[in-house]
Structure 1
Amino acid sequence: MTGPTRETVAVVVVTFNRADLLARVLDGLAAQTHAPDAVVVVDNASTDHTRDVLDAATVPGLQRLHLTENTGGAGGFHTGVAAAHEQGFDRVWVIDDDVVPAPDCLAVLMAQDEACVTAVREDRSGALVEKAATRFDLANPLHARPKRSMVETDFGTRAAMPERVAVENVAFEGFLVRREVIDRIGLPDPAFFIFYDDCDYAIRAREAGYTIWAVRDAVLVRQLDFDQQHDLAGWKGYYMYRNLFAVHRRHGRNALVRLKPWLLALAVVVLSPLRGGRGEARNVWRAVRDSRDLATLSDVARPARPA
């Protein structure tokens, strides 16, 4: 008798001008007790010393994809997942360039006989900072924010978590999927550029019938603080609003939820003197207008049609 077939796994890392953080990620991947079969690094046209870091990397199976323009995290993950899928790997593990996996992180995830699993993040002090939603409500139009609860607030500490927790969205910081998921729902959508591409992908997976499990003992250490919410008047704020509105348009469970972006935009404009001022007001109106172009999945992200 022969034993069970070992599943292959490719890691996809997307980076842009964060060479020193990338070096830590690659060191963490090189130290995995379950060695990945390939590590696909998508370099979004970095202008720092990213190439030097990759030249010095000792991680096995390194593949380098140097893009000629910055396609954002969404474009990078689209490119990297497509490359891993085309090469026939059984699973694909997506990692951002600002997290470092514990040595047994991949081994713990690979031991889960599930199509969709994700690691659980902590900060450098060891505090739980896993913001994956345990409830992401796209049915109630009265909820300004669809994320109603998350792992961090539900449990407080990693020790208080059960071994696995079902989550309704993820970050592309430790999400592991089997190729059957990619076959069925397609690729990450590069149209998002940054923010909510991972949320959209998780919702698409759940709409296809998959459960996503956050695995307590698969540890990722986040190297940076969460500060996105403080840039609502800047260029990041535009993408945060636009893409959140696109998620409502794509996945809202009823007409009122799909119309909610207009109400949210109006509320932001009214409150903008107390928040981000004219910059945030301009961002939100541009975002609600431009989100109409993202109301449906991009053609390049759709699953391939059978030959």
Structure 2
Amino acid sequence: MRIAAVVVAYDRRDLLVEALDALAAQTRRLDAVVVVDNASHDDSAVVAAEHPVGAEVLELPRNTGGAGGFAVGMAHAVEALDADLVWLMDDDTIPTPTALAELLAAREAYPGPVALLGSRVVWHDGRDHPMNTPRRRPGASAEQIARARESGALPVRSSSFVSMLVDARAVRHHGLPVADYFIWNDDFEYSARLLRRGTGLHVPASVVEHRTKKFGATDADPGERFYYEVRNKLWMLLRSPSLSPEERFLYLGASLRRWARTFRGSRNRDVLRSAGLRGARDGLLRGPRRNAAVLADMGPLTAEVDALDAGRSRRGPAA
């Protein structure tokens, strides 16, 4: 079993060093580490290349956001490095030493194929991080819940890129994250796409720290970034195969309630209103571009992305 970690980095070199330190300290040694540097203005790429973990650094010519970074990194891990499992995280994700081993133990114990597994995500003070706390899969049967519990896990419908272990067979079958999302909802769309008919597990024994500056959920005031929340959520609800018709209706209602809470709690509602209206316009009038178009200037990395999204992976799609 060949496992590659993919870390997307942007302008947080000190946190990146801590993340790489944590990867080097895993009790289950990684077979490869890929750092995707999103055209950082600091020396993130240099410190990653010089780190003892031996990371391969992919320096992108421009910032492609988390969505583009993970698409490039996953494609490279699967196509070029022949990874069987890809462990995804941002540069502010600090895994505890047994985080990977616990994910693998749950995967091994579960009686059936697992598309992805996610860790328990805590803030630096040990509290569960509200930004990355999953809920049990709606409609999960008693048998599904029991099987997951026997594996030390919980069945889920979606997961976060803050420690997501993905089976490469699922990547070949479903393709990559949508790079045009740039930020926000990219992990929701991607994990929900893999788990619409696949199995996803939340593993509480696998713990990582998400060292965000503030402790808060996704309905905190995002300012101009509210554009991406609205546009990407509409893209997901209207254009993605990740949700069933019933789920689209339920998630639309949940999104409208969350947006209302965000607006009520904002200190600058004019900014939020403008960003939200632009997001609604673009979410309704156009869809996301193909990954190969969004990432067209990445040289050989573009070819790896296109091969996976088009089902031309050199090892073929999942059986």
Name the TM-score, length of structure 2 as normaliser: 0.76
Of 77, 80, 83 in structure 1, the residue corresponding to residue 76 of structure 2 is 83
Q: Secondary structure at the match of 1:95?
A: strand
CA-CA distance at 1:94 after TM superposition = 0.3
C-alpha displacement at 1:52, in angstroms? 3.5
Q: What's the secondary structure of 2:219's corresponding residue?
A: helix
Q: CA 1:294–1:92 in structure 2 vs 1: closer, same or farther (change >3 Å)?
A: farther
Task: Give me the whole-angstrom Cα distance separating, in 1, the residues matched to 2:288 and 2:244.
Answer: 12
3-state SS of paired residue (1:217) = strand
SS at match of 2:126: coil
Distance 1:293 1:37 in 2: 44
- What runs of 5+ residues in structure 2 fail to find an aligned partner? 109-113, 140-150, 293-304
Q: Distance in 1 between matches of 2:275 and 2:64?
A: 20
Which residue of 237, 241, 244 maps to 1:248?
A: 237
Identity across the alignment (%): 31
Q: 1:89 to 1:260 in 2, by over 3 A?
A: closer
- Aligned equivalents of 1:57, 1:15: Cα separation in 2: 14
Structure 1 residues 41 and 299, CA, compared in 2 at 3 Å: closer, same or farther? closer
- Following the alignment from structure 2 to structure 1, what is the Cα–Cα distance between the partners of residues 23 and 50? 14
- Structure 1: gaps of 5 or more residues: 1-6, 138-161
Are positions 1:13 and 2:13 aligned together? no
The aligned counterpart of 1:70 is 63
Structure 2 counterpart SS, 1:230: coil
For the pair 1:123 / 2:129, whether they are aligned, the reply is: no
Match of 1:96 in 2: 90
- Structure 1 residues 256 and 53: alpha-carbon distance in aligned structure 2, compared to 1, 3 A threshold: closer
One-letter amino acid matched to 1:18:
R
Q: SS state of the match for residue 229, structure 1?
A: coil
Q: Is the 8 A contact 2:178 2:288 kept in 1?
A: no
> 1:258: Cα distance to partner?
9.6
Corresponding residue number in structure 1 for 2:249: 257
Q: Give the drift of 1:44.
A: 0.3
Corresponding residue SS for 2:125: coil
Contact 1:248/1:258, CA 8 A, preserved across alignment: no
- Is 1:229 the counterpart of 2:219 in the alignment? yes
2:236 aligned counterpart, secondary structure: helix
Q: Select the structure that is richer in strand.
A: 1
Q: Is the 8 A contact 2:5 2:33 kept in 1?
A: yes
**Separation in 1, partners of 2:46, 2:91:** 15
CA-to-aligned-CA distance 1:241-290 (integer Å, 9 cap, x gap)? 211222221336159839959x949x859x95874421111111111111
Secondary structure at the counterpart of residue 235 of structure 2: helix
> In structure 2, how many angstroms separate the alpha carbons of the residues matched to 1:164 and 1:241?
32
Residue in structure 2 matched with residue 157 of structure 1 by the alignment: none
Aligned to 1:149: none
Q: Distance in 2 between matches of 1:273 and 1:103?
A: 41
TM-score (structure 1 length as normaliser): 0.79
> 1:154 — aligned with what?
none
1:1-307 aligned within 5 A:
7-60=1-54, 62-87=55-80, 88-111=82-105, 112-113=107-108, 114-129=114-129, 130-134=132-136, 163-207=152-196, 209-224=197-212, 225-227=214-216, 229-232=219-222, 234-249=223-238, 250=240, 251=243, 253=245, 257=249, 260=252, 264=256, 275=266, 276-292=268-284, 295=287, 298=290, 300=292, 303-305=309-311
AA at the equivalent of 2:234: F
Structure 2 residue matching 1:216: 3-state secondary structure: strand
Which amino acid is the alignment partner of residue 122 of structure 1? V
Q: Which amino acid aligns with 1:278?
A: D
Alpha-carbon distance between aligned partners in 2 of 1:169 and 1:133, rounded to the nearest angstrom: 8
SS at 2:136 equivalent: strand
Equivalent pair of 1:191/1:294 in contact (CA under 8 Å) = no
Shift of 1:126: 1.8
Q: CA deviation at 1:102?
A: 0.8
Q: Contact (CA 8 Å) 2:26, 2:98: kept in 1 or not?
A: yes
CA RMSD of aligned residues (A): 3.1
In structure 2, what is the Cα distance between the partners aligned to 1:24 and 1:255? 38
